[in-house]
Amino acid sequence: MKIYRFRDGDRVRVGVGESERIWRYTGDDAFNLGTIDDARPLPLAEARLLAPVTPGKIVAVGRNYAEHAKELGNEAPSEPIIFLKPPSALLAPGGTIIRPEVSQRVDFEGELAVVISQRAKNIRRASWRNFVLGFTCANDVTARDIQRKDVQFTRGKSFDTFLPLGPCIETELDPSALSLRTRVNGETKQDGNTRDMVFPVDFIIEFVTAVMTLEPGDVILTGTPAGVGPLVAGDVVEVEIEGIGALRNDVA
């Protein structure tokens, strides 16, 4: 099932997608869908989409594809490197990524995002699926020059609009071998597959929940494959993951 969240008149709605249409539901978030509300589906192309969840926190994994670690001059890590992005960085599908004046180098990073379904602490790998609502596409937009300059990742990863998320949550998906492509102005820049993660989704969930409690709606970004590169004003960047769809944003 594909769960969308969107603006409909003056209210926020959720709906379920089916072949380029969205069926409106009575609920107002992905955890409270309610029931079908309207006999007329909304064409997906006309929907004013929002990020499919509003996470309390976003945990990201760095250098989780060996080829990407290498392209930035790093070794693949021996255990996951995790950092946080703030909810204030969230950006809707179709929203505009704003490059901050303090950075000369803003990069895209296409990533598979995991949406947590229920409170999760000290989860064992084998039971990971009970704690995941589904998956969506993310762009872990990064001010690379600032990330390199600062010891912490926080500033370079946290500017407003640096977390496009969507277009929907796919609730029935095996994340172990999904193709992941990032295109800029239609040209493929990243052509990866989730099977190449250094640490797979189940391992990451065990690792992160050994540190912190995850709540429903929290999001984990699972790292980006090789091929990251810069965004400039006027670009259109798309992250497309097999079985989910494409997350498209422009850049200013």
Q: Footprint of Mg ion on this chain (CB under 5 A)?
A: 109, 140, 224
Nearer to Mg ion, 41 or 86 (CB): 86
Nearer to Mg ion, 22 or 138 (CB): 138
Closest C-alpha to 159, from 139, 182, 141, 184: 141
Residue nearest to Mg ion (CB): 140
**b (16+ CB within 10 A) / e for 65-89:** bbebbeeeeeeeeeebbbbebbbeb
Closer residue to Mg ion, CB minimum distance, 140 or 202: 140
Rounded Cα distance, 251 and 231, in Å: 7
CB of 140 to Mg ion, least distance (A): 3
Residue number with CB closer to Mg ion (194 or 224): 224
Three-class SS state of 196: helix
Rounded to whole angstroms, how far apart are CA atoms 207 and 78?
12
Measured from the CB of residue 65, what is the shortest distance to Mg ion in angstroms?
A: 10
Least CB distance from residue 34 to Mg ion, whole Å? 34
Burial of 241 per CB tally in 10 Å (0-12, 13-18, 19+): buried
* Closer residue to Mg ion (CB): 147 or 209: 147
Q: How far apart are CA 61 and CA 8, in angstroms?
A: 34
